[in-house]
Structure 1
C-alpha cells in the first residue's frame, strides 16, 4: 500500500478500500490519483479543532458564538475558545486567487434565468450521481437518507445565495452558508469518528477532503452538464462564470490546492479520478438517491397519490435519461424507456414561456423561475441558523 501524508492522525497508509481503485486511477493520471488518495486521510484541521472546542457548550451557546464569528462580532467572539477564533481568523483571509464578482455575475444570471432546469438537474442528476458508496455511508449512518427534504432545501438555498449579488462577500449569506456547511461537516466527522461504525484504516476519514472535492464537482461541472442536457443554451462565458463561483466556494469549504479545480475541464478530471478510486454505488448510495427523489412531490406541493405516482414516474424517467442506464440500474431505479424524456422537459418549459407571454397579467417565466427556486429553498422562518447537530442520528439530534 502507498504511504500517505496529511491530517490523518497516526494513520498514514492508504485506506484498504481504495487500493484497487487507486491502481486503476494511477494508470490514467498518477499525480491526481496520488492527490486524491492522500486526501482520503485529510480532514479539516481548523474546522475540526473549532468544533471540538465547542464540545462542552450547549447548542444555543455554540450557535451564539458561531453567529458572532460569522457576523464579525469581536466582542462576543472574545468569549469563544481559542480554536474557534483561530478558525475565523483563517477563513477571514482573502483567497489565494482573485475572485471577480463581474465574471461570477455572468454565470449567476444564467442560473437565475434557467433556475427551474438547474433545480431539475440538481435533484435528478448532480446530487445522485455524485454518490459513491463510501460518501453515501455518512448520510446512511446519520439517517439522512429517506426524507432528505431539509437537506435538499439547504443545498438549494446555498445555490441561490452564492449566486446573488454580494452573496460571496465576507458578509454575504452565500459566504456564511458555505462556512456553515464546512462546520457541520467537521461536527459530523467527529461524531462518526467517535462512533463504532467507522473504520479509518479501511475507509479513510469520514467526509474527507477527497470526498469534499468529489461532491463539489457535482454542484458545479455536473450541474452545468445536466442543465445543457435539459436544454439550457449556456455560453462559454456563462459556464466559466458559474465555475468561477464554485472555485471560490470549493476553496472556502476547505478543499486543498491539489484538488481545487478552476475550470469545468479540471473539475471533470477530478471527478474521473474520483470515480476510479471510489467503490461504485451500492445499497447505501441507492437509498440516499431514492431519498432525494422522494422529496420532490413535497417540494412541489403535490399531495394527491395519483399525481404523486405520475410525478415519480416522470422523475425517475428523467433522472435515468440524465445519468444513463448503467448507473440508474446500479441505483435500482425503475427500468423504463427514456426516449423523448429530455425533449419532453424542454417542450414543457417552452409551453410555460409561451403561456407567460400570451396571458394578460401573467408574470414572466424568468420571474416565476427564480421565485419558485426561492420558495423551494426556505427551510427556516428566520435568518440563517448556526445550530449544529448534537447527535449522530438525525432523529435523535436537537433540531438544527
Structure 2
C-alpha cells in the first residue's frame, strides 16, 4: 500500500521501505535519510497525507451555507444533540456518535507545570513565537498553502492575533478540557485546515506531484514540534526560564493540542528530544525557502507592530528594522535569515542580550509601580478576542479575497 492509499484509507503508512519523494523533496530527502532513515521516510510519507477523518467531514459540509456550517459545528462543540439530529453523519460521528477518545498517553496533571511556565513567561513566549517560531515554520513549503490563500496578506494582523489567542487558551487552566476554549480552538483549527486542504487541492495551480497534499500531516507535525521545542529554545534566548518539569509540561500541552488538531500520531512528537529531532530532519527534508516563504516571513515580521496596536508608520518601521528583524535573525540564525532576505543587523551586535536587558528594566519598572508593558491586558489586546464569540464558519474559496467572511 502506498502512502497516498494509506491516507485515503484513514491511516498513515509505516515507512518500512524507502519513499519515492515528491519532486520538491528529492534532494533534502536524500540528505535527511543519510542521518536518520526512518525519520526521513516517515516525514516524506506524510507529505502525501492529510486528515482523512476531518477531510471527509468538511466534504459533507461543503454544500451547506456558511451560517448553517457555523450552527452545526457550534452545536458539535457544545454537544447539542438536538441541533445535530439532521447533521451529516460524519459530523455526528466526530462529535457525538463515535467521538475520538483521549489518547492513552494524556496525563492532565503533567500539563500543569507547563501551564505555569507559560503564565510566567507569556510575553517572552509570544515574542519568541512571532520573531522565531513562525519564521521556522513558514520557511518550509507550508508557506505555499498560506501564500496561495492570501489570508496572511489580507488579514495578517488578525492571523497573528488568532495565533496568540490559541496559545493563551491552551495554556489556561482547564483550557484543554472538553468544554475549554483551548480545546474548541484546537478543533476549530482542524476544521479550517481540512477546508483549506479541500479548496486548494482542487485548484489548477496546486502542484500535487511537487508539493503533495496542501497543509499536509508532515507540515502540521513539523509545525507543532516547532511550536513546542523551538518556542522553549527561542524564549530562553529572550530570557525565559523553565525547570525540567516545566519543559516537559510545556511540550505535553502542545502534544495534546496537536492531537486535537488532527495530527496523526505517526508524525506527532512524543517529548522535547523527539520534537527537536523532528524539526532537524524536517528542515533537512524541506527545500530551501521559496519566494512564497520569503514573502510570508517578511509579511509576518512587518505585521507584528500592528498586533501591538502600533500604527504610526515611522514608529512601526523603527521597531521592525531596529528591534524585530535583529531579534529574529538572532533567533533563527544568519543562514536562514539570509535565505529569507532579512536585512543585516548593523546597529546592535547583541540584539538578544539587549532584549533581555530591556525586559529586566521593564520588570523593575513594574515592581516599583512604574508603567510596564508586560501585563495580561497587553496580551489580551494582542489576541483575537471578539465579543461575538468564536466563529465556526469555514473558508468558502481557495483565495481569501474572493471568499466570504469566516
TM superposition score normalised by structure 2: 0.92
- What's the CA shift for 1:257? 2.1
User: What is the rounded CA distance, in whole Å, between the counterparts of 1:302 and 1:263 in structure 2?
Assistant: 37
User: What is the rounded CA distance, in whole Å, between the counterparts of 2:24 and 2:33 in structure 1?
Assistant: 15
- Counterpart of 1:319 in structure 2 is 328
Gaps of 5+ in 2: 10-18
Gaps of 5+ in 1: none
1:120 to 120, 127, 134: 127
- What's the CA shift for 1:375? 1.8
Contact 1:142–1:394 (CA under 8 A) maintained in structure 2: yes
Contact 2:81–2:96 (CA under 8 A) maintained in structure 1: no
- What's the CA shift for 1:201? 2.0
- Counterpart of 1:336 in structure 2 is 345
Contact 2:28–2:284 (CA under 8 A) maintained in structure 1: yes
Contact 1:33–1:273 (CA under 8 A) maintained in structure 2: yes
- Counterpart of 1:378 in structure 2 is 384
- Counterpart of 1:138 in structure 2 is 145
User: What is the rounded CA distance, in whole Å, between the counterparts of 2:191 and 2:98 in structure 1?
Assistant: 12
Q: Deviations over 1:26-68 (max 9, x none)?
A: 1111111111111111111110110000111000000000111
1:164 to 144, 152, 172: 172
Q: Deviations over 1:281-329 (max 9, x none)?
A: 1210011111111212212222222211210111111111111111111
Residue 90 of structure 2 is aligned to residue 110 of structure 1? no
1:223-234 alignment runs, 5 A limit:
223-234=231-242
SS in 1 for 2:405: coil
Cα 1:4/1:66, change in 2 over 3 Å: closer
User: What is the rounded CA distance, in whole Å, between the counterparts of 1:4 and 1:190 in structure 2?
Assistant: 15
1:71-82 alignment runs, 5 A limit:
71-82=78-89
Q: Deviations over 1:333-352 (max 9, x none)?
A: 11124522111111111111
- What's the CA shift for 1:379? 4.5
User: What is the rounded CA distance, in whole Å, between the counterparts of 1:379 and 1:200 in structure 2?
Assistant: 36
- Counterpart of 1:388 in structure 2 is 394
1:397 to 384, 400, 403: 403
- What's the CA shift for 1:20? 2.0
2:226 to 215, 218, 225: 218
- Counterpart of 1:49 in structure 2 is 56
Q: Deviations over 1:83-108 (max 9, x none)?
A: 21222258833232242333212111
